[in-house]
Structure 1
C-alpha cells in the first residue's frame, strides 16, 4: 500500500517540487519515500509497508519499464508461481513484484490478471515513451491527473491536495462542482472540483504519449456459474458467496503486519468479522460510538457480534464536545467535499486502529451496492411513475431541487440554467435513459449506475483517504472481482427475495452471526447529526458561527437568508432534511476554508 505520484513530458518538475508532492501524502506512506526519473519523466512513491516488508522497494524496474503501485494484489502468490514457471525469478515476497513481468507478457491487458485493489503508474520506454495509468474495477484506489498548460506534460498523484503542489496545477474551481456536490453528496467523477483536473474512473487505463492522452474503460469480465436446474436460488447464491468470501478473506488476512476488522454491528461487518475470526484467533475488532445517549447507537450490536465471534474487541468512544476540531481535521484529508456524516466517525475510528498498532483493517463496504441492500433500490425498482428517476436521484442528494431553488443565489441559479440545469435532474434523466435502453433489468441498472457513478466517489474515496490519513490500509472483501462477478450474474429476484433485501448475503451470514443481527432492521452506519445539531451541542455552535458569519466563503452560491431559515427550523424543530443540508454546507465551508479558497462571484448583485 502506498501513495504514488509522477510527471511525464513537458518541463520536468525539480526535486524540490516532487518532494513537496510526496510530503503532502506522507501519512499514506510513512515507511519509505522513493523517486526515480528518466528522460522527461519521474515516478515517486510513499510506501506503507504491508507485504514483503523487507524487500518490496519501489519503483519496480525491468530494463526500459518502471512502475509505482498503490494497493494490494491478493492473488500475487498464484501469479508468482505462474511467472516462475516461465523462468521469472523474484527476490522477497512483495505482491508488486509480479506487475512488470505480467505487463511484459500481456501488455495493457495485464490488469485483467490482477485480483485486489490498485492504482498503477507505469512508464514504458521500449518504443515511443509512454506513461500508463491503471485502476481496479471497483475504483478502490484513486488517481488524479491533469495536463500541463502547454499540453505536453501530464502530472498525477493519489491525492488531489498533493497534486496541487505542482507549480502549474490548474487550481481554478469549477463553479458547477457546488451543485454536483449538493446534488450527489460528493463530487462524482471523472471531473473534480477543479475545472481541468480529472480522476481516473474505475476499471480504466490512460495512455499518455507525445502530448496525447487516451482513456479506455473496460468492463469487468463476466463469469458463468453452474447453477442447479431452474437457475440460481437464494440458497445456491448464498452458498457460493460464502465460499468466495472465505477464499478472499483467507488472502486478505495474509499480511506481514497485524490485521484487524471493523465491526459496526450491522450484517455486513458482522459477517466479515466472523469470517476473519474463523481464520485469525483472537482477531481484534473495532467499533466506534459517542459519549452520551444518542439515536442509532449500534455499540451493543457490535459487542454482541464480537462476543459471538470471540474477537478482542475495542470500543472507541468519541466526545461530541470535540467534534468541531475533529471536523476541521478530517476535512483536510478529504480531497473533495463529501457530505457523509460518518466521515467523522471513519476518520476517528482509523485513528484508533493506528494507535492500537494495526496497519490493515477489513471492512464490510460494498455489499449493499452489489446485492441491493438499500431500500431506495427496491422502492425505485417498483416505482412506475413517470418521474421515478427524479425521485430516486433526490434520495442521493443533500437536498432536492425544490430546496436548492430556495438555497442558491439568483446568480448561481442563472449559471446552472445556462450550463444545462441541476446535476440531480441531469443524472436522474441519464439513469432513466439507461433503464429505457433495456440492456439490463431496472434493478440491475440501478445497481450498476450506483457502482459506476456514485459509489467510488461517495464511499470509496472516503474510506481510502480517511484510512490512509492514519497509515492504515482498508481491505474490502466484497469488492473483489470474484464477488462482483457473482453479484452481476444474479437476477433481481435472488438479490431481493420478497421483502428481504440483500438476500444472498443475509442467508450466507446465518451460519456465522447471531440471528438477532441477521434479522434486525437495517440501520446505516452514520453520525446522528439531527440530534447533534441542536442548541447546546458543539456542532450547532460551529455551524452557526461558520455558515452565518460574515466571512462565509460559499455565500456567492447559497443565500444567507435561506441558510438562516434552515438553521432556525433546525433550532426550533430538529429534522433530518434540515440537519443534512446544514451538515453538507458545513463540510463545504470547512473544505473551502481549509484550502483558503474563495469561489469567484457569479453575479455583480449584492450577496443575500
Structure 2
C-alpha cells in the first residue's frame, strides 16, 4: 500500500515548489516506508510513498508511460491486472514491469476515463496527461482507499491520501465547515465528500474528477453504484448458498497474491471467520491470524477466534488490551486528522500493530454487515417498519410524537425497554427513523450543545440532508435494501473503512477486504432481502452457506463488536482530562458550543445521573483534532 500527493496548476504551468511537495509527501512516510519518488515539470508535481507488495524490484512511482506523455501516482491493488495486461498487450502496449501500476497508464491511453470501470480492486490514483493538459483523479467503488483534495484561490490543486498531506501545505485554508460539525456530532464521523474544512473535500467512492488546464470547473462523474438489481431466474436457497461460497472463495483467492508475508484478522465473528476458513482451504501452509482480546469479559471474543484458529490450524497470535488502554487518544487525533469518534479505533489500532509484527498484508471481514444485513439495528428498523407501513405518517406523528417527547429516557435499559427511542422512530419516515437510530446525538441535543453563532452559521442545515440525498439516489424501494444502501454510502466509508485505513497505514500494513469485492457485492445486492435478514436472523444466507465450514457457536451467537468502556474512563482515569479539555478553555472558549450544556454533560455523566459517553467522547476527539484550526464560524 502507498501514499500519494501532488500539486497541479489548473490555470497554467507555474513551477511547483519542490520543497512544499516534499513536505506534503514526508508527513505520510508511514503509508510507504520502503521508497519515495517525485515527478516535477511545469505546472505539475506528483509524489509517492511506497509500501512494496508486488514486483518488489520494479514498479517505482511516479511511473510514466513508454512515450512519457502520461504519469501516475497510485495507492491500492488492482487484482485483475494480469488479465488487463494481456488485453492491453493484444492492443499493442508493451510492458516494462509486472505490476498493476503500469496497467493504469495504458488503460488510460486505451480507454480514457472509462478505464476505471475495468479495474477490480481498491484504488485511489492521480494521472497526469501532458498532451491533454489534464489531471484525472479516481477512487474505488466503495472508498476503501482515501483521496483528499482542495482547490486553492490561486488555481493550484492540492491532493493526497490523507488530510495531513494537504495540511502540510502552507496555503491550505483551515476554516471549520459548520455543516461538517453538525454531521460529525450526529454521526461520529464526517461523511463524504465533506471534510472538517470548508474548502477541502474527499473524492466520493465510485467517482472520478477531471481537471483540464484552463477550464473553469472540474468534471466529476460517478462511474459505479451498488445496483440492488434482483437476480434473474429462479434459484433455490441451497443453490444460492453454494454459489455464494464459490464467489467468496474467488474474492479471497485473488487477494492472497503477495510477495510479502500474508495473514488475516480473526475476531471470532462470522465475517472474519469465513475469510480465514476460505483462506485456509486455498493455502498449503498455515494462515497467519491475529486477534485482540479485552480484560472485560463482555467485550472479549478471543475464545471464538481460538475455536476457528484451532479448526484450521492457523498460526494464531493474540494480544489482550487493558480496559484502561486510553493512551492512544492523542495518537488517534493525529492519525485521523479531523474529528473521528468511533472508539473502536483504539482496539483496531492495536490489532493492526499486532498483525504488522508478523505480516505485511492482512485480509479482513469488513463489509459483511452491510452486504448481508448483519447489524442488530437492521432488525429493530424492520420491526418498526412493519408498523410504520400500516399507519399513515400523519397519524403516527400525532400519536407517537407526543409519546416520544413525554416518555422518560432510559439509556441504561435494554433496547427493548427504551420505548422513548421507539416512539421517536415511529413518528418519523423510514429514512429519518433510520438516521435517528444511528445518530450519536438527537437533533434536540445538538441544538442545546451548539452555540447561537454556530446555529446561525448552519442556516437551518441538518444532517438529514446527507441521508435524504442518498435515499433519493437509492436504486431500490425495498426498505431493508434502502438502509443497507444508506450504510454503504455513509457509515461503511466514513467510519469503518476510514478507521481501518488509518489504523493499518499507521503501521505500514496493507488490509484487503474480499467481502467488498465489487462483483461479489453486486451479486449479493440482488439476493432476496429475506435471505439476508430472515425473521430476526441477520446474515442468514451467509451463515447457512458457511455451516459446513465453521462451528455453529461461531455462526449463531450474539454479535459483540469492538466495544470500549469509555463511560468508566470518564468517571475514573480520564475524569480530570475531560473537564480540562471541555470546560477549561479549549471548547468552552471556542464559540462553537454552549458552555452550560458542556458543563451539564460532564457533571451529569461523572455523577452517574446520566450516561453521556458518546457525546463526551465526540467532544473530546473534536477538541483533540481541531486544537490548531480556525474554529470561527463567521
The answer to whether the superposition gives a TM-score over 0.5 is yes
Alpha-carbon offset, residue 221 of structure 1 = 7.8
Cα contact 2:228–2:481 (8 A) shared by 1: no
Tell me what 2:290 maps to.
Answer: 286
- Alignment CA distance shift 1:101-1:529 (3 Å): same
d(CA) in 2 for partners of 1:242, 1:31? 36
Equivalent of 1:558, from 581, 593, 608? 593
Alpha-carbon offset, residue 252 of structure 1 = 1.0
d(CA) in 1 for partners of 2:147, 2:40? 19
- Alignment CA distance shift 1:428-1:7 (3 Å): closer
Please give the residue correspondences for 1:273-312 in structure 2 after superposition, counting only pairs within 5 Å.
Answer: 273-280=276-283, 281-290=285-294, 292-312=295-315
- The list of structure 1 runs, each at least 4 consecutive aligned residues, that deviate by more than 6 angstroms after superposition, is 223-227
- Alignment CA distance shift 1:298-1:531 (3 Å): farther
Please give the residue correspondences for 1:86-165 in structure 2 after superposition, counting only pairs within 5 Å.
Answer: 86-126=91-131, 128-151=132-155, 153-165=156-168
Deviations 1:8-49 (A, max 9, x none): 115443111111000011100111110112231111110111
Cα contact 1:554–1:599 (8 A) shared by 2: no
Cα contact 2:208–2:221 (8 A) shared by 1: yes
d(CA) in 1 for partners of 2:583, 2:538? 42
Alpha-carbon offset, residue 334 of structure 1 = 0.2
Of 272-281 and 20-29, more deviation after overlay is shown by 272-281
d(CA) in 2 for partners of 1:482, 1:135? 17
Cα contact 2:139–2:203 (8 A) shared by 1: yes
d(CA) in 2 for partners of 1:397, 1:140? 23
Tell me what 1:514 maps to.
Answer: 551
Alpha-carbon offset, residue 267 of structure 1 = 0.9
**1:589 correspondence with 2:604:** no
Tell me what 2:26 maps to.
Answer: 23
d(CA) in 2 for partners of 1:380, 1:7? 45
d(CA) in 2 for partners of 1:255, 1:515? 32
SS at structure 1 position matched to 2:175: coil
d(CA) in 2 for partners of 1:554, 1:283? 52
Tell me what 1:409 maps to.
Answer: 451
d(CA) in 2 for partners of 1:574, 1:47? 51
SS at structure 2 position matched to 1:134: strand
- Alignment CA distance shift 1:431-1:200 (3 Å): closer
Alpha-carbon offset, residue 224 of structure 1 = 8.2
Please give the residue correspondences for 1:222-301 in structure 2 after superposition, counting only pairs within 5 Å.
Answer: 231-280=234-283, 281-290=285-294, 292-301=295-304
Please give the residue correspondences for 1:306-455 in structure 2 after superposition, counting only pairs within 5 Å.
Answer: 306-323=309-326, 325-354=327-356, 356-382=357-383, 383=385, 384=388, 385-388=426-429, 389-416=431-458, 419-423=459-463, 425-430=464-469, 439-455=476-492
Of 526-535 and 199-208, more deviation after overlay is shown by 526-535
Alpha-carbon offset, residue 432 of structure 1 = 6.3
Deviations 1:75-101 (A, max 9, x none): 112222323333433334322221112
d(CA) in 2 for partners of 1:560, 1:201? 35
- Alignment CA distance shift 1:3-1:404 (3 Å): same
Please give the residue correspondences for 1:30-49 in structure 2 after superposition, counting only pairs within 5 Å.
Answer: 30-49=33-52
Unaligned runs of 5+ in 1: 603-608
Alpha-carbon offset, residue 173 of structure 1 = 1.5
Tell me what 1:605 maps to.
Answer: none
**1:487 correspondence with 2:534:** no
SS at structure 2 position matched to 1:236: helix
Alpha-carbon offset, residue 428 of structure 1 = 5.0
SS at structure 1 position matched to 2:281: helix
- Alignment CA distance shift 1:432-1:478 (3 Å): closer
Cα contact 1:289–1:299 (8 A) shared by 2: yes
Alpha-carbon offset, residue 550 of structure 1 = 2.9
Tell me what 2:78 maps to.
Answer: 73
d(CA) in 1 for partners of 2:471, 2:99? 45
TM-score (ref. length: structure 1): 0.91
d(CA) in 1 for partners of 2:235, 2:126? 40
Tell me what 2:62 maps to.
Answer: 59
- Alignment CA distance shift 1:105-1:449 (3 Å): same
Alpha-carbon offset, residue 541 of structure 1 = 4.0
Cα contact 1:233–1:494 (8 A) shared by 2: no
d(CA) in 1 for partners of 2:229, 2:322? 50
Cα contact 1:51–1:94 (8 A) shared by 2: yes
**1:529 correspondence with 2:566:** yes
Of 51-60 and 491-500, more deviation after overlay is shown by 491-500
Cα contact 1:149–1:168 (8 A) shared by 2: no
TM-score (ref. length: structure 2): 0.87
Cα contact 1:287–1:302 (8 A) shared by 2: yes
Cα contact 2:588–2:595 (8 A) shared by 1: no
SS at structure 2 position matched to 1:4: strand
Equivalent of 2:196, from 184, 187, 193? 193
Tell me what 1:600 maps to.
Answer: 632
- Alignment CA distance shift 1:553-1:83 (3 Å): farther
Unaligned runs of 5+ in 2: 389-425
Alpha-carbon offset, residue 357 of structure 1 = 3.6
SS at structure 1 position matched to 2:254: helix
Cα contact 2:174–2:630 (8 A) shared by 1: no
d(CA) in 1 for partners of 2:205, 2:166? 19
CA RMSD of aligned residues (A): 2.3
Of 454-463 and 129-138, more deviation after overlay is shown by 454-463
d(CA) in 2 for partners of 1:474, 1:344? 17
Cα contact 1:28–1:468 (8 A) shared by 2: yes
Of 31-40 and 19-28, more deviation after overlay is shown by 31-40
SS at structure 2 position matched to 1:552: helix
Alpha-carbon offset, residue 598 of structure 1 = 4.8
Of 84-93 and 303-312, more deviation after overlay is shown by 84-93
Alpha-carbon offset, residue 233 of structure 1 = 4.7
Cα contact 1:232–1:490 (8 A) shared by 2: no
Alpha-carbon offset, residue 439 of structure 1 = 4.4
Tell me what 2:409 maps to.
Answer: none
**1:476 correspondence with 2:513:** yes
Cα contact 1:205–1:215 (8 A) shared by 2: yes
